[in-house]
Structure 1
């Protein structure tokens, strides 16, 4: 699930990425264009019934991303704005940040 909230001047968009708790047993990492696909930089926190993280992203950009589940399985976001093919023969999730 994606939730987008702009700062008052719309210079930053706070995007909350979340997936259901049952998708992972131990950990969930977020990798994408915004962190150079670093699998260690962004770890989702387990809160109630979901895994979640909020990133501050620049408006007027499009970002590819995926979740790394328990260090071994890549998943897309069910609520992504769209999906695009990647060089591994699968698809990446995309979040589009408007103005």
Structure 2
């Protein structure tokens, strides 16, 4: 798992690449990035599988905010990012991953 941040010079935005390695995916059929930046929509932001078996997606986000997110594997299993900037407790007795921009 990894988060890669690329801050834009001309806009207050950052391109964030969210990546799950093959080991974390365990032969998943689909993986979605679900967070407050997409209204916690379980279908909106799907990660794509690359040649090495890793999954990733890049999202453009506004700088100066913290964004809560999790990965949803096969519509059933919620997973946090091991390299999140920090974790925040939820009302569901779990934690969200957070990326700070």
- The TM-score range, normalised by the shorter chain, is over 0.9
- Pairwise CA distance, 1:10: 4.4
Q: Calculate the aligned-residue CA RMSD, in Å.
A: 1.0
1:17-96 counterparts in 2 under 5 A?
A: 17-22=18-23, 23-24=25-26, 25-47=28-50, 48-96=52-100
- The TM-score normalised by the length of structure 2 is 0.91
Runs in 1 of length 4+ with deviation above 4 angstroms? Answer: none
CA distance in 2, matches of 1:20, 1:71: 18
Runs of at least 5 residues in structure 1 that lack an aligned partner in the other structure: none
Q: Report the count of equivalent residues.
A: 97
- Pairwise CA distance, 1:8: 1.7
- The TM-score normalised by the length of structure 1 is 0.93
Of residues 53-62 and 18-27 in structure 1, the stretch that sits farther from structure 2 once superposed is 18-27
